[in-house]
Every structure is written in C-alpha cells, then in structure tokens.
Amino acid sequence: MSSLTSLVVGGVPIFSGGSPVNLPVRSPQIGGLVIYVGATASQIVGDGVAYCNTLFGTTGALAKLQGRTNRGDIIYLLPGYSESITGADFGVDTGAASGFSVIGLGTGTDRPTLNWTAAASTWLLDTSGVEIANCILNFAVTAATIVVTPITVSAANCRLIGNYINWGASTTIGCGSTLGAIAVTTAADYFEFSYNYCNNLDTAGTNAITLLSLNGADFFKMIGNKVFGSTTATTVGPVHFLTTLSSDVEIAWNYIENLIGSSTIALSSAISGVTGVVNYNTFRVNSGIQPVTVSANMSVTLSQNFCNNTVNKQAAAVLGAGTSA
C-alpha cells in the first residue's frame, strides 16, 4: 500500500515516502466498495477492491457504483492521475449512487487533477452525500476557455474538502457565470466547503463573477479556506448569497479576498434574511474595512473578524453595519 497513498483515512496514517495529509475524510465502511482509479490490475489486490482507468464514463469508477446508496463506497484517485471534464453533466453515469467519496491520494502537485476543458463542462452533484477531497480542480485551464459553472450542488450533505481549486487561469480570464464557479441550490442543505485553497489569477475581475453562489443553502458550513482573487464587482464577494435566503450558516477561520479595483466587499448577499455566524475570518478588500454585507441582507452574528485593505498593514477589526463594539 505504500506506493499508493499519502493520506490519513479514518485516523489511520497511510504513507508514501513523506508526511501524510490529515484531512477529515470518510473512511471505508463495512460492505463499502473501494475503487482505485489510474491503476492496473497488477497494482490492486484484495477482496472488495476494484480498479478503473477513468473516473467518468460508462466504464469509469462512478458507473461502477451502480446506484448503490449510503454504502460507504470510496473512489481513490492515485497520485499524478489526470482526467478532463469535456461536456455537460459529465458525471451522469453516477446514476442514483449516493453517500460516496472521491478522494485524491498524494500531496501538493502530486495530487490527482481534474480539468474542465469546455465552456459547458459541468460535474453535477445531484445525489446526496457526495464528497470530493484532496484533488486539484482546474475550473479554468486556459485563457481561451471560460467555463460557465463547473460544479452545481443540488443535493443535501455534499462537501468539498482539502482541494486546490483554480477558478481563474490568467489575469483576464476566470469562470464566467452569474452563479459563479460553484453553484449551491436550495436542495443542497448541509453543504460543507472546508480547508480548500482557491486561487484566481483574474485580478481584473473580467469573468470571475464569484467562487461560491449560495441559493437557499441552509446549514452551509465554510471552515478554514483560503480564497484568493477578484470578482466582477466591488460589492460582490467570492462568497455570495442570492435568490433564496440561507439560514443557520457557519463561516469561520477563512481568508477571503476581493481584489478588483476599489472593492469594498468580500462576503456578500443580494437576499435579505441570511442567518448564522461569521466568526474568526480575515478579509481583504481594496477600500474600507467593512467587507461583509450585513444589516437587512445578513442577520448574522459577527465576532472576531478582521479586514485589511492594503499590503503590509495590520488588519482592523470588523464590526459591521448597525453593530457596536
């Protein structure tokens, strides 16, 4: 097993010549199917273990789940593996399968890479309990291709954890959609987005409208992420609530920036009544030090948040509109 993994799964360290990555990902369950992607038959042995050459497609790992629900199935993508998502609903062969994980093995740039290579490329998380962890997700591969909305989450209990997410390939090109790079819909309650490193080189805000759009995402959790880059508007943050209010959200221990010229907001809302807690975050904008849309739009509890509006400057405490020290 040492040639396959460098991850801690279920609290058990599995090494590959270096320190393991301690991500709180799911571990295999009794009766769960384990599938390795990018392997050959000679590399994989053991009962209840399968291998595939691809993640997607009719013969890929997702298709092998065959509609299994909540069985604790895990798909491991081997270090260095790469696959392209070239069309809409590219994971359609998942069928009705739910309650499974896609986990990348490896660290840094050795992690497996998924590339969105066409404007209409999408992976729809439309069954419950899907986890994507420790992968490199290239939403914007080249400056010539503007991917509209790479991932849409429309089922409950899904999560993205510990991934590197490229949501802007150059200084002028990012993901282009009013729904942003990752669209979370009203049916996607309890969506979790944690410990991801999200980088956008589109500092001009040409097409990178937002990273996360949250439409009625009740019980949304966002913990420990680093979000770098710009949006297309000074008052639309990389994390943006819209259309239907989201209730009982938790946003904590993140770094979130909006570096478009004269930006004032990093966490924004276009809908009234969003509730929850926004604690222990650091925000970066280019103007002002109140980077959260509050008052009627966000009825959240703000505590121990800080904001910086220039380099090499001590961050200031964020109080929020209508609040007092």
Cβ neighbors of 243 (< 8 A, separation 6 or more) are 215, 216, 270, 271
In this prediction the pTM is 0.86
Task: Give the DSSP letter of residue 63.
Answer: H
Query: Could you tell me if residue 44 is left (phi over 0), alpha (psi between -120 and 50 degrees) or otherwise beta?
Result: beta
Q: Which of 1.20.5, 3.30.450, 1.25.40, 2.160.20 is the CATH number of 139-325?
A: 2.160.20
- 82: three-class secondary structure by DSSP: strand
Q: Please give the pLDDT value at position 12.
A: 37
Sign of the torsion angle spanned by Cα atoms 228, 232, 233, 239: negative
Query: DSSP E strands: which ranges in 169-303?
Result: 182-184, 192-194, 197-200, 212-214, 221-223, 226-228, 239-241, 249-252, 255-257, 267-269, 274-279, 282-284, 298-303
Query: Measured in whole angstroms, how far is the alpha carbon of residue 204 from the centre of its chain?
Result: 22
Query: Cβ of 214: how many Cβ atoms within 10 Å?
Result: 31
What token pair was written down for 35?
Answer: 């599938």
Task: Give the DSSP letter of residue 98.
Answer: B
Per-residue pLDDT of the chain (325 residues; tens, 9 = 90+): 333 333 444 333 333 333 444 566 665 555 688 999 986 655 555 556 788 999 999 999 999 998 899 999 999 999 999 999 999 999 999 999 999 999 999 999 999 999 999 989 999 999 999 999 999 999 877 767 788 899 999 999 999 999 999 988 766 666 766 788 999 999 999 999 999 999 987 766 666 688 999 999 999 999 999 999 888 888 899 999 999 999 999 999 999 999 888 899 999 999 988 999 999 999 999 998 888 987 778 888 888 999 988 877 788 887 654 443 3
Sign of the torsion angle spanned by Cα atoms 148, 160, 96, 216: negative
Q: Please give the pLDDT value at position 121.
A: 93
Tell me the CA distances in angstroms from 303 to 213, 285, 292, 323, one per residue in order.
23, 19, 12, 11
Domain boundaries, the chain: 1-108, 139-325
Q: Please give the pLDDT value at position 2.
A: 33
Query: Measured in whole angstroms, how far is the alpha carbon of residue 229 from the centre of its chain?
Result: 15
Tell me the CA distances in angstroms from 126 to 32, 209, 237, one per residue in order.
21, 23, 25
Q: CA dihedral in degrees (296, 297, 300, 302; nearest 10)?
A: -90
Nearest alpha carbon to residue 37 among 10, 55, 19, 12: 55
Q: Please give the pLDDT value at position 153.
A: 98
Q: Please give the pLDDT value at position 250.
A: 97
